[in-house]
Amino acid sequence: MDGEVEVELHRPDEPPRVVERDGAHRLDALPPGKRMGHSVLGRGHMALLPKHSVYRLRGRTPGAVVFQTIEGPETLLRWAEICQTEGGTAKPPAAPSPPRAERHGEPLALETRFESGPADADTGYIASVSHGEVHHQLPADAFLRALMRDVAWGFFYGTVNFDDVLGTTNFYGEVEMFLGAKNEAFVRAGRDVTERFASADLMKAFKAILRDWTNEGFDPFAAPLETAAAFGPKRGSNDAAIERQRVSARRMVGLPGDTGVRTDQSGYPVNRMFADVPQHQPFVEAGPGFESEVSAFNLFGYLSRSDVTWNPSVCSVLRDSLFCPTSEEYILPIDHGNDRVEWFIQLSDEIVWDVKDGATGRPRARVTMRAGDVAAMPADIRHRGYSTKRSMLLVWENGSPAIPELIRSGKAPVIPVKF
């Protein structure tokens, strides 16, 4: 995060006997073994600390480092001490609404009362979505940007609210699509509708809408200043933009056989707003036989070359712990309704977050994050971010598939700590 640190790595002849607990363990002395190598990291650099290795960090001047690790005997739990809070009590999330679409034994085919289309094919300004007598309209560009995230993220964690009325909720294998189900005015008036679909069926329909509606030159992943307008009669297409594959490293970006770093040659130039981000890679020296384990790369340089916005990509994996950094500009085109706690670390510049109740949409908080700030987004909220300048954000996820049911059953909390 800041300063410079040298990382020394050793492979002990016999792994330390620390099997009783996960995480990092302090050793009294360096055990017999082989020197794996070392790296020198500066601001924005990321390095792998392999399992069953011994590491030591040296810093000539004060610095700051973020560790992606498992809780262990060296872990200090300080969130309750350092977090700024008004001490509000979080409410348990509402139970999921029952499926209202009729079932006939087989996975639900896309036979639905939901309809969508342009309100006026000549201007293409407005997208119209209806279900029976319930009608809703929203700007076509906002609709396509939200739809793009739902498709690219595989319906993501929890709820993707296109706006205060339309959205989807992921049940991992099935997806609910709704109008008004997360809007207390609609619910109170009995105007909310929900249907549940097999995920694969709804994904096919969403992809078809994207292909059919996206005009040549419009990129629903790009910032407004970096793309043509979405409006007007249908003309051409932009399949290259809407069929991008989300980056998902298996261990860490830059490792042999894993997701590669971004370069000019690979088609990722530095973004216009990140011209001041240093591009040099960290110094890495790997000993013989350890080339696949001693590795580091310039994470900030990697993010400065992102060709999309608001699209967290998995850059490192530690069991269910996922580092998903992303570059942000303009407005997050959805309200993301969590089904687990998310951690945000602001890496550069500033993002302002509107935080609302996940079930009703009532405002809860506004959070302004600047470089170095950390926030925990509870599992019962929805959030939307605003970034006036392109910025870098680290989204830290727990990807365990067991979490949503643990929260729904009350066995896991909706907040990371009780004050």
Is it the case that residue 68 has pLDDT exceeding 50?
Answer: yes
Rounded to an integer, the average pLDDT of 223-249 is 92
Coarse DSSP helix, strand, coil percentages of the chain, rounded to the nearest 5 percent: 15, 30, 55
- Output the pLDDT for position 122: 80
Nearest to 177 by CA among 105, 112, 94: 112
List of long-range contacts for 267-270, beta carbons under 8 Å, 24+ apart: 268/305, 268/306, 268/307, 269/305, 270/304, 270/305
Return d(Cα 362, Cα 342) in angstroms, integer: 20
Helix (H) or strand (E) holding 185: helix 184-189
User: CA distances (Å), 409 to each of 95, 118, 174, 414, 419, in order?
Assistant: 9, 41, 19, 11, 22
Q: Where residue 417 falls among pLDDT bands split at 50, 70, 90?
A: confident
Return d(Cα 236, Cα 214) in angstroms, integer: 8
- Output the pLDDT for position 111: 59
Residue at token pair 């998995």: 314
Contact 60, 3 (CB under 8 A): no
- Output the pLDDT for position 416: 86
Rounded to an integer, the average pLDDT of 332-348 is 96
Q: Across all residues in the chain, what is the average pLDDT? A: 90
Question: What's at 52, amino acid-wise?
Answer: H
Rounded to an integer, the average pLDDT of 281-299 is 96
Residue at token pair 């130039």: 269
At 164-205, the pLDDT tens digits run 999 999 999 999 999 999 999 999 999 999 999 999 999 999
At 84-130, the pLDDT tens digits run 766 544 444 444 444 343 333 333 345 566 777 776 778 889 999 99
DSSP letters for 249-303: -SSBTTSTTSPPPP-TTTT-PPPGGGTTS--PPPEEEE-TT-TTTS-EEEHHHHH
Contact 2, 64 (CB under 8 A): yes
What the block records as the tokens of 38 is 């070392």
At 7-62, the pLDDT tens digits run 999 999 987 665 577 888 898 899 999 999 999 999 999 999 998 899 999 999 99
Rounded to an integer, the average pLDDT of 237-255 is 92
- Output the pLDDT for position 115: 76
